[in-house]
A and B are shown apart, each in its own frame.
Chain A
Amino acid sequence: MTRLCGWGRTPTADASVVAPSSDDEVAELLARGPLCARGLGRSYGDAAQLAGGTVAQLTGLDEIGPIDEAGVVTLGAGASIDALLATALPEGWFVPVTPGTRQVTMGGAVAADVHGKNHHRDGSFASHVESLRLATPRGVFDVSPETDPDLFWATAGGMGLTGIVTRVRVRLLRVASDVVLVDTDRFDDLDGVMAAMVEGDARYRYSVAWVDCTAAGARTGRAVLTRGDHAPAGAEPPRAPRAGRFGVPFVAPPGLLNRLSVRAFNEAWFRRAPRHAVAEPHSIGSFFHPLDGVADWNRLYGPRGFVQYQFVVPDGAGETVRVVVERLARSGLVSFLAVLKRFGAGDPGHLSFPMAGWTLALDLPVGADSLPDELDALDELVLDAGGRVYLAKDARLAPSKVAAMYPRLEEWRAVRGRVDPEGVLTSDLARRLHLVGR
């Protein structure tokens, strides 16, 4: 038995971990009994674990094929964005969508249908996938949006519950350099940054705002907005090359990230940002994956771990974002690094998270007695606004709210029933939210 957990480090699960190294071995595992797929363990909650069961760790399927002239590449499901970038960037290609860490596998990127700072323009990961190889209890299928749209889109965002992705064909993005030119703007309140995002995001490929949910009073929701695009060839290199990689060698004592330390950090972060800067050259790492520079940063949250609460609300419900930020500031709960972003239209994935609107992600340490109920109250606000929370981040949603947040759940279950009628594919997330049987 191996103890597993998500990136939030709670809940944990002891499971037998097996590491298949071929499609055939994956098929054998599926024939044996209940199975849960896992990549690099970057989903925050319990999506990639199965307490008391068998977990297939797919990081062994990590081959990366040649990139063709159109920028299409075939990869094993266990290959990471990190590994792909190491191959692709020197040849002038970039991943079409990257989340805030490059330590995610292709299989995980499909299963969570991950999004990045360019969602408002380029959509989420699955929109750039040509086809998938999917091992299911009913056989192995090569699935594309053309050949089997139902199964393809049930798999995109399907949290690994429609089959085990073993291979992915992705269309990459042509880039002329490994530099990103970034405009930075600082705003003293939430209204200012949201107005700027509505007005200007269309001009940028990438856009994201960091919001201070700990600042009190009139400064509540002050924010730093960074927007940019890949630099043309021959651009000036970033001034400050990345320093060495730091690490957190052990789990921090409880309470290291408390109201005072987080406030101090947020204050420093806010002041460090320029009020207005244009076209500053940044490295890929510092712009897209700043936290990857600190290995195991999740340990800073101490032994109880943390939850990430990420929700999306439709365009017209920007007010909900403001209510949430104000509630948090008042609640006294510590939120480190709240990230605000605008989404473009969602893709056809039945359980895909993004929809046109606003998404806010909050990291909250477990420990405050009021946290569980406060998050339940936020769920109500999000539901009232017609929004939803992100399953790849979830570790605490009430199962009764899933169908309202994901209205195509029944449709998804029917597609899943076609390839997994006996319910072989499962996970603690699936059991907890009753996505599949208990």
Chain B
Amino acid sequence: MENAFGQPQSVVVLGGTSDIARAIVRKLCAARAETVVLAGRDPTRLAEAAREAEEYGAAHAEVVTFDAEDPASAGPAVAVAFGRAAGPVDLVILAVGLLGDQAAMEDDPEAAARMATVNLTWPVAALTAVRTRLLAQGHGRILVLSSVAGVRVRRSNYLYGGAKAGLDRLCRGMGDSLEGTGVRLQIVRPGFVRTKMTAGQKEVPFTTGPNEVAEYVLRGLSSNTPVIWSPPVLRYLFLGLTHLPTTLWRKVAAL
């Protein structure tokens, strides 16, 4: 069960090897998390993340593998992950995502479709399965890793940003649909985060590390805010950016 600060005791992570997800899991394990189920693609890195969860205080860490390029795998992966949790699940973190090099994908229909699948289609299928299970349980929380890239989509990463935009908007609606059910959905919108996903990319203002994102997430679990910005100042920055005239936005986005 969650405590007064929204700290969970059992956690399922879809995309369990993501740097941000791992930073969140470390903090949750140091707080109250006892059971952690990490689902992802790479068994070796999942095992490493599971070891880390136990080092930080989890009593049981389990791993589940799935392929995010195959949306049909989402339902079964969620079923297995909930089974491994062996009891009520307090928090589901959805951290599946693929950034990629857009320049190499812009002329490749298959690669572009893969971006939509991994960042949007698979997550939507998984969230649908998660939602049903948490509703049946009567309580629980879903945390979806979105991105500021989806708040106003830039030309240089429209494949990633566009897919995140779809996921983000869909989750706002799904979150509203859960009102009064005992299940909560929160979206995390980090700015640029130094991770293996963004390695080699140019840093922008308000860049953070995964640990800082995790701190804002823990604060957000306590306050129940529907959208967690990281860092919080981005809420105001993007309020301005979303209202910039297109010509001006193109200049800003190209910086």
A residues adjacent to B (C-beta < 8 A): 1, 3, 8, 10-11, 13-15, 45-46, 51-53, 254, 303-305, 307, 366-367, 369, 371-372, 395-396, 398-399, 428, 431-432, 438
Interface size bracket, B side: 20 to 34
Residues 105-145 of B, flagged 1 when their CB comes within 8 A of A and 0 if not, give 00000000000000000000000000000000111000000
A8 to B224, CA, bound (A): 16
Knowing A1-B182, A14-B181, say if A398 contacts B32 (CB, 8 Å).
Answer: yes
B residues adjacent to A (C-beta < 8 A): 1-7, 9, 31-32, 34, 87-88, 137-139, 180-182, 215, 218-219, 222-224
Interface SS of A by simple majority: loop
When the two chains form the complex, which single residue of A11, A53, A438 contacts B3, counting CB atoms closer than 8 Å? A11
- Return chain A residues, CB-CB under 8 Å to B224: 303-304
CB distance from A431 to the nearest CB of B (A): 5
The answer to whether A52 and B182 have CB atoms under 8 Å apart is yes
The answer to whether A14 and B182 have CB atoms under 8 Å apart is yes
- Return chain B residues, CB-CB under 8 Å to A254: 223
A430 to chain B: closest residue by CB:
B1
A438 to B137, CA, bound (A): 13
A438 to B4, CA, bound (A): 18
A98 to B6, CA, bound (A): 32
B3 to chain A: closest residue by CB:
A396
A369 to B222, CA, bound (A): 9
The answer to whether A11 and B181 have CB atoms under 8 Å apart is no
Knowing A3-B180, A14-B182, A372-B31, say if A396 contacts B139 (CB, 8 Å).
Answer: no
- Return chain A residues, CB-CB under 8 Å to B7: 372, 396
A8 to B138, CA, bound (A): 21
The answer to whether A52 and B222 have CB atoms under 8 Å apart is no
When the two chains form the complex, which single residue of B1, B6, B34, B222 contacts A428, counting CB atoms closer than 8 Å? B1
CB distance from B212 to the nearest CB of A (A): 12
Knowing A52-B138, A438-B88, say if A11 contacts B180 (CB, 8 Å).
Answer: no
The answer to whether A367 and B139 have CB atoms under 8 Å apart is no
When the two chains form the complex, which single residue of A13, A304, A372 contacts B182, counting CB atoms closer than 8 Å? A13
A367 to B219, CA, bound (A): 8
A1 to B7, CA, bound (A): 23
CB distance from A367 to the nearest CB of B (A): 7
When the two chains form the complex, which single residue of B138, B215, B218 contacts A51, counting CB atoms closer than 8 Å? B138
The 4 closest A-B pairs by CB, nearest first: A52-B138, A14-B182, A51-B139, A395-B4
